[in-house]
Structure 1
């Protein structure tokens, strides 16, 4: 069984394949290669060399100021669905299932429409709306934008 490939920068597991065992991380944008060893069923990611640190020179004093090297931070995969919009729709129109139609889940949206007269979908919609608003952007993107 082959091990899962992870980004050496951020540990993420979502990639765009660039060819020749080269991958680009969807979270931090790092590019790395993975060599598959046929004798041992494992992968060993090889990281591209890091960029040199930024050096800012203050023109007035002539002194150098060293800053942190360019370490890519988490850059969210921005899909077309917003967690704030989904949360507000769930709180306000949750009894009609508007948030499920927004998140491309029409089956659940229709189920909410059928049972809206029982007030159960409105209670569940309120809970789901609070859950969407408390969820991190990364978790929301992994669950609803992929």
Structure 2
């Protein structure tokens, strides 16, 4: 069976607040080490990346504080909802992220959790925290662009 294009991915959770709170410098796709009940809960479309972050500890990448609820049909084998999960990255990527995240102001935040070719993946971003005025400036620019688009579409309709 041929592999699907990168656009063919089933998104489970998106951290929309991350792009508002952080300036995304670089993104990486990482695999996740999960238990069976975690995969089943994700396939049911349940997860939250809101308080999640990634860290480099002992030469390994970890995803922390991401909420994957317990699987409803699970028994005593169920997982802890906010446990630390290992990220699967290449050594070069881990070393690069470790060096950058040690710099002041940089952090690793998850942007998206999805399935690609049947495997759970997470898109993590090397990001720099925005100041309050940067957030307002971004919102203002987005609002101005939206108003300009409305004006152009209104003018195009009037011209017809």
TM-score when normalising by structure 1: 0.26
Select the structure that is richer in strand.
2
Larger radius of gyration: 1
